[in-house]
Chains A and B, each alone.
Chain A
Amino acid sequence: MKEMSRIVKIVTNFIYGFIIIFGFYIIAHGHLTPGGGFQGGAVVASAFAMLLISYGQLKAKKFLNINIFSLLESCGLTMFIVVAFLGLGTTFFYNFLANSGSWFGNMVIPGINPGDMNTAGVLPLMNIAVGLEVFAGLGIIVLLMADGAEYTKKKENAENDR
């Protein structure tokens, strides 16, 4: 697909960093504000889609590598399952870090309070794992579909010229 004009490229260079940081903010504060793993992952994947559209498919293939996305997605799902297995002392998926005083384990003041980031046990770790899997997965889908469309169009042009 053809690349876009110079104004679009300058604005994309300026803005895609802010979109990625905003997506990671939504993932990391999943236990205090509305959001979480799935929503933040979709926001980060939209930044990659914007890069792909504004630079064209031939140039974007050089700095968006499919093998790195594939590795990140597998790491995300593996981390989710390992965190679920760690609480196997009581039961599967047990929240063994809540109200315990160690890594994410402060007590929550009951009722309406300004949020404390250090609470809620296993939930931030699971949010980060699911967010990693969702944004790498949606990035793979967008990149593969653009590559397939480009290949079909080249074959069609080669047949029409013959």
Chain B
Amino acid sequence: MIGNFPYITVIIYIGCGIYILMFQKNLIKLAIGINLIENGINLFLITLGFKKGAVAPIYTQAPSGQSMVLPTPQALTLTSIVIGIATTALILSMAMMIYKHYGSIEVNEVRRLRG
């Protein structure tokens, strides 16, 4: 079970993110929870492509005589990181606009003040 340590780190990340999404009421804390879930998934994608005793998949001045790690999950994780940035930026901008219009940032108060 010690050999599976990266997977246990991933489920701690995702567990913390889901706990924050279920039990907190402040908009900024909800944005932090969503960001934690997305970063946990990115870590999981990278740990799927590891070979024991291998080096990075780059040919410039690499140490000779060793195999290389799988490069495809790293390419997909690049795209996912950029999409995480875009989601977090949009959520925080909407939180700023809600504060400007309603004067409060808790989720249950924003529902009751209309107009």
Is there an interface contact between A38 and B78, defined as CB atoms closer than 8 Å?
yes
Known contacts A112-B64, A145-B92: does B100 contact A152 (CB below 8 Å)? yes
Number of interface residues of B (CB under 8 A): 17
Interface residues of B (CB under 8 A from A): 56, 58-62, 64, 78, 81-82, 85, 89, 92-93, 96, 99-100
Chain A contact residues: helix, strand, loop or mixed: helix
Known contacts A145-B92, A145-B93, A145-B96: does B58 contact A111 (CB below 8 Å)? no
Q: A128-162: which have CB < 8 Å to B?
A: 134, 138, 141, 144-145, 148-149, 152, 155
Which residues from B are CB-within-8-Å of A145? 92-93, 96
Q: A9-57: which have CB < 8 Å to B?
A: 32-34, 38
Which residues from A are CB-within-8-Å of B81? 38
Number of interface residues of A (CB under 8 A): 18
Q: Determine the distance from Cα of A145 to Cα of B91 in the docked complex, in whole angstroms.
A: 12
Known contacts A38-B78, A38-B82: does B96 contact A32 (CB below 8 Å)? no
Which residues from A are CB-within-8-Å of B58? 33-34
Q: Of all chain B residues, which has the CB nearest A108? A: B59
Which residues from A are CB-within-8-Å of B78? 38
Which residues from A are CB-within-8-Å of B61? 112, 114-115
Is A113 among interface residues, defined by CB-CB distance under 8 A? yes
